[in-house]
Amino acid sequence: MRQREPAICLRRSDYSETSQVLHFHTRGWGVARVLAKGAKRPKSSSGGAIDLLSEGELVFIPGSAGGLGTLVEFSETFTRQGLRKEARRLNAALYMVELVGEALAEGDPHPEIFDLLHNGLERLGQDDAPVAAVLAYFQWRLLRCVGLLGELKTCVGCGQAAIPQTAPRGGVFFSSIQGGLLCPACQADASEKRHLDGATLAGLATLAAAEAGRKVSLSDTQAIGVNRLLDYHASHQLGKPLKMARHAIGD
């Protein structure tokens, strides 16, 4: 049965001289892998080869037993040209679609993540966009939506507040294996952990406040720290580093 969905292109690869294999994130069906026969021909039903980040209306026939579906038609409505004016914006956008593609299973709809991705790409395309802050909020919300990130307010070991007004002696740590923050006492027994500096802790508190509806501002220094932490966590949870991380976030 044909499906018609708003869709964003997450991944593409050549199948033949004229055809592509495309991964789309659709709003109501989830991630869909489809074979776009003849898509690279100018007179194809998609108007030519489909690029990463392209967004529009997708008509497709889902595959059976985990196989490739078939693209029937794709009508692009958002070209994302603004993202291609600056490498920093484009790299952040490509990191976003890579994270979505790795974090979501095929055919598992998450309309809130589709909206999050749409809004994030739109914001990155605006001239005044704070790129690091947009990416930090995107990572934060996506990881929380898929259940890979908790509140990050208390220590997962003892339950005590882990983000005080001033960092405690010994500092605060994050463990991806344990799924949250560790206070100075509890971190001693953790085999995997990452020390958090003051800017990263402040950034986490700012994102929590934004999620609670407060109007706050995330500085570049805070956003960079949060991005590095959340990429570290995503890599551990996915079992591999994201290819675009070094371009979008750095070391």
What residues in the chain have per-residue pLDDT under 50?
A: 165-167
CA 164 to each of CA 44, 59, 144, 201, 233: distance values in angstroms, whole numbers, following the listed order: 58, 51, 22, 9, 22
**Domain presence at residue 184:** yes
Angle of helix 131-145 versus helix 220-238 axis, rounded to 10: 40
d(CA 95, CA 101): 10
pLDDT at 15: 79
Q: Are 117 and 11 part of one and the same domain?
A: yes
Looking at the 3D structure of the chain, how many domains does it have?
Answer: 2
Neighbour tally for 8: CB within 10 Å = 24
Q: Are 201 and 84 part of one and the same domain?
A: no
Q: Are 18 and 121 part of one and the same domain?
A: yes
**Domain presence at residue 208:** yes
Q: Assess contact for 151 and 208: CB atoms under 8 A.
A: yes
pLDDT at 239: 96
pLDDT at 235: 96
**Domain presence at residue 169:** yes
- Whole-number average pLDDT of the chain: 90
Q: Assess contact for 7 and 58: CB atoms under 8 A.
A: yes
Q: Assess contact for 66 and 105: CB atoms under 8 A.
A: no
Q: Are strands 55-61 and 3-14 parallel, antiparallel or unpaired?
A: antiparallel
Q: Are 119 and 173 part of one and the same domain?
A: no
pLDDT at 166: 46
**Domain presence at residue 139:** no
Please state whether the predicted TM-score (pTM) of the whole model is above 0.95.
Answer: no
Among 129, 158, 182, the domain boundary falls at 129
pLDDT at 169: 57
pLDDT at 163: 64
Q: What is the CATH number of the domain that holds 76?
A: 2.40.50.140
Q: Are 82 and 28 part of one and the same domain?
A: yes
**Domain presence at residue 7:** yes
Q: What is the residue range of 231's domain?
A: 149-248
**Domain presence at residue 136:** no
**Domain presence at residue 141:** no
Q: How much of the chain exceeds pLDDT 70, in percent?
A: 92
